[in-house]
Structure 1
Amino acid sequence: MPLTPLDIHNKEFGRRLRGYDEDEVNEFLDQIIKDYEALIRENKELQNQLGAHQDKLGHFANIEETLSKTIIVAQEAADELKNNAKKEAQLIVKEAEKNADRIVNDALVKSRKVAMEAEELKKQASIYRARFRALIESQLELLNQDGWDALESHESRVRELE
């Protein structure tokens, strides 16, 4: 067990004939007691400071651990968001491709339909033209027949008679 200031104060030395000066020894012991008490106070103060610093260190270690966990959770959340965004983007692209295919197919169907209608109109126009030509040719043929000349001369005679 360590020596206390009270132990020093209560220490009694045996007396001898030619011993040390008692007042000098007592003064020296008093000085030792003061210094020893100061050292003990300083030691307690340093131990208190050490305890406070260890508490702060523990607190900061907890904060560090919490921050590390938070960073890990944030990183995981960011990774999850990134993966979800990629999946959503892929779904959007697939949906857009489906819509594009549907639009292209619809356009092809309409294009074919319009082409068929145009072809049908060309055929009908060709048929109409051929019929109209046949009609005109038959009418020209009628006009070129001899009966018209006779009719014309008959009309001219009727006019002359009038």
Structure 2
Amino acid sequence: MPLTPLDIYNKEFRRVLRGYSEDEVNEFLDQVVKDYEAVLRENEELKAGAAAAGERLEQYRQLEETLKNTLVLAQSTADEVKVAARKEADAIIHEAEGKAQRILEEAQAQVRALEQELERLKREADVFRAKLKSLLESEIALLDSGLDAGTAPVGPAAQPVDQPVA
């Protein structure tokens, strides 16, 4: 059991012949009691301070752990946001490429349709030219045959060029 200031104060020494001066011993013990009480008070204060510091340290450790968790969560969230943004960007790019492909295919289909229409119109023009040429050749042949036979042609081609057609 530890020694208390009261134990020091109440300590009785045996009296022997040729011993120490009782007054000096009592003064010394009084000083020891005061110093010992001061040391005990200081010790209690230091214990209380150490306990408070320990509590603050635990709070700081908890705060540190919370900050670490928050940082990890923030990093995780940032990574998730990056992944989501990349997916969204990829989806937008894929959609745009698909749209561009459809537009290109539609334009190519229109080009093919226009080329087919152009070919059809060329064929019609060729047919029309051939018919016109055939008609003109038959008219020329008719004119030639009428002039050779000495008869005047009949119909619109038979009228003189100077006269207006009625």
Q: Work out the CA distance in 2 between the residues paired with 1:54 and 1:98.
A: 65
SS class of match (1:124): helix
Q: Work out the CA distance in 2 between the residues paired with 1:27 and 1:60.
A: 48
Q: Work out the CA distance in 1 between the residues paired with 2:79 and 2:68.
A: 16
Q: Work out the CA distance in 1 between the residues paired with 2:21 and 2:110.
A: 130
SS class of match (1:12): coil
Equivalent residue, structure 1, for 2:60: 60
Equivalent residue, structure 1, for 2:127: 127
Code of the aligned partner of 2:69: K
For residues 41-71 of structure 1, the C-alpha deviation after alignment (integer angstroms, 9 at most, x for no partner) is 1111111111111111000000111111111
Code of the aligned partner of 2:39: L
TM-score normalized by the length of structure 1: 0.82
Q: Work out the CA distance in 2 between the residues paired with 1:76 and 1:36.
A: 58
SS class of match (1:14): coil
Equivalenced residues, count: 150
Equivalent residue, structure 2, for 1:114: 114
Q: 88-97 or 9-18, which moves further after superposition?
A: 88-97
Equivalent residue, structure 1, for 2:157: none
Q: 1:127 Cα shift?
A: 1.7
Question: Any stretches of 5+ residues in structure 1 without a counterpart?
Answer: 150-154, 156-162
Q: Larger relative contact order (C-alpha < 8 A, sep ≥ 6)?
A: 1
Q: Work out the CA distance in 2 between the residues paired with 1:101 and 1:17.
A: 122
Equivalent residue, structure 2, for 1:159: none
Equivalent positions of 1:37-116 (< 5 A) are 37-116=37-116
Q: Work out the CA distance in 1 between the residues paired with 2:63 and 2:143.
A: 115
TM-score normalized by the length of structure 2: 0.80
Equivalent residue, structure 2, for 1:160: none
> Quick one: percent identity of the two aligned structures?
50
Equivalent residue, structure 1, for 2:8: 8
Code of the aligned partner of 1:127: V
Q: Work out the CA distance in 1 between the residues paired with 2:26 and 2:152.
A: 174
Equivalent residue, structure 2, for 1:19: 19
Q: Work out the CA distance in 2 between the residues paired with 1:36 and 1:49.
A: 19
Q: Work out the CA distance in 2 between the residues paired with 1:143 and 1:42.
A: 146
SS class of match (1:94): helix
Equivalent residue, structure 2, for 1:36: 36
Normalized per residue, the structure richer in helix is 1
